[in-house]
A and B are shown apart, each in its own frame.
Chain A
Amino acid sequence: KDKSAASKDSTPEGAAKRQEDGAETPKQQLLDIIGNMKVEVSYRKKLQQLKASESKKQALNKLEGPDSEGSVPQGTTEDTQRGKPLNPELVKAASAVAASLPRNKKQTESELLAQLRRHEETTDKQKKGGTINIRNVISEMTVKRQSPAERGARISGRISLQLDEDGRRIRPERSSAQSVDSRRSLKVGKRLNIFTKASTEPEHALKTVSSPTIWDLEFAKEVAAVTAQPPRNGFEEMIQWTKEGILWEFPIDNEVGMEDDAEFHEHIFLEKHLRAFPKQGPIRHFMELVICGLSKNPYLSVKQKVEHIEWFQKYFEEKKELLQEI
């Protein structure tokens, strides 16, 4: 023990020398040691040094005899009176420190001992009571594992509820889906059809009434007129414009008005419309030229081309008498 203490302080070496001499009293030797010790801020280092000095002191005590014991038991008796048994070495060290300090020795000693006691109490509490509390917490956590995740989902669901003001009825489905798991909520729920054309799904609610009466229409118009509030902001204004048809729908669809369901062969092979015409003669020749021109025309729809040919048919029928004269 002496050698281990020697690494920390230089004074123990001197004390060892004095020990060999045996000229000074052990109390004075101890005081010299404590006096030489540095005054440190941290309490732990103080304790360590005190312990080291105490070990030295114990060695001194063993060598010298009962002379130093007289001063020490006074401190120990005081401590034992308080109830909790402190480490006797620490007590001795505290008393020695108090003796070295210039102020009221007994007061400092009592303060130091009180601090020691508090330290002991906190360490005991941490050792004994700490494990039990952690165990309780863990056991509780295993039971209610889903609650924080659920709470988070609910909160996020609430946030999404507040933002959904466009009138898209996705709220009830989405909240129920999100509550289970975050993985499954990606594909569950109604599609928004922003980037893909909305496929015409068969509506669930079949209209039992065949044709709504005029009164129903008027009532509906009245209700709409009453409930239609002027737009509160630019977004609502744009929504209204889109409904009326002033503003285009985004993403822009280049084929909004055009719904040409006809195939290419209906555009090109138009000979079937020429059945009403005579098969010989200049009119036929003329009409074949007309058809050739129409087949090359990409701007007209099939309907328009058919109308074109029918007009010519009508015209030539009206002029039949004239043609027969020729």
Chain B
Amino acid sequence: MAAAALCWALRAARQVLPSPCPRQVRSYYVDWRMLRDVKRRKMAYELADERLRINAIRKNSILPKELQEVADKEIAALPRDSCPVRIRNRCVLTSRPRGVKRRWRLSRIVFRHFADHAQMSGVQRAMW
């Protein structure tokens, strides 16, 4: 989802002027939960590395404990949405939090709908 959001932002940034035929652009997210997930992804993209490094200092038996306590305070000061663990792989079309296949980023119901209408390339009903 972070990648999709990034791509979307990049596309909007470098506006290609010679494109007279307007395409459908998704201006709204499916629901607020999806919006919050998008925010979390954006923030995690920025701060996840720092979080990882600070954690590496914290979860350590070599470095002195004082340093690790300082690191604890630092990581607590970071915004909560910056941690990557808070990201939920929701369905891209319906924002369903559960039953989402990672490869297609779709919930099982949507996947089944598209596959039955032969709109999923290379997906076939299993029979053996």
Contact = CB atoms under 8 A, between A and B. Distances in A.
Interface of A: 221, 224-225, 228, 230-231, 244, 282-283, 285-286, 289-290, 308, 311-312, 315, 319, 322-323, 325-326
Interface string B69-84: 0100000000000000
Interface of B: 16-21, 49-50, 53, 56-57, 60, 62-64, 66-67, 70
B62 A285 contact: yes
Contacts of A311: 49-50, 53
B53 A312 contact: yes
9 contacts: A224-B18, A230-B20, A244-B16, A283-B63, A286-B63, A289-B62, A311-B53, A319-B67, A325-B66
Given A221-B18, A228-B18, A326-B66, 5 more contacts: A230-B21, A319-B67, A319-B70, A322-B70, A323-B67
Contacts of B18: 221, 224-225, 228
Contacts of A323: 64, 67
Given A311-B53, A312-B53, A282 B64 contact: yes
Contact of B67 (A225, A290, A322): A322
A290 B56 contact: yes
A289 B67 CA distance: 17
- Shortest 6 CB-CB contacts between residues of A and residues of B: A224-B18, A225-B18, A230-B21, A228-B18, A282-B62, A286-B62
Contacts, number: 45
Contacts of B49: 308, 311
A285 B57 CA distance: 12
A326 B53 contact: no
Contacts of A225: 17-18, 20
A322 B60 CA distance: 17
A304 to B, nearest CB: 9
A315 B67 CA distance: 11
Contacts of A230: 20-21
Contacts of A224: 17-18
Nearest to A241: B23
Contacts of B16: 244
A282 B61 CA distance: 10
B24 to A, nearest CB: 13
B21 to A, nearest CB: 4
A317 to B, nearest CB: 13
A228 B67 contact: no
B21 A231 contact: yes
Contacts of A308: 49, 53
Contacts of B57: 286, 315
Contacts of B67: 319, 322-323, 326
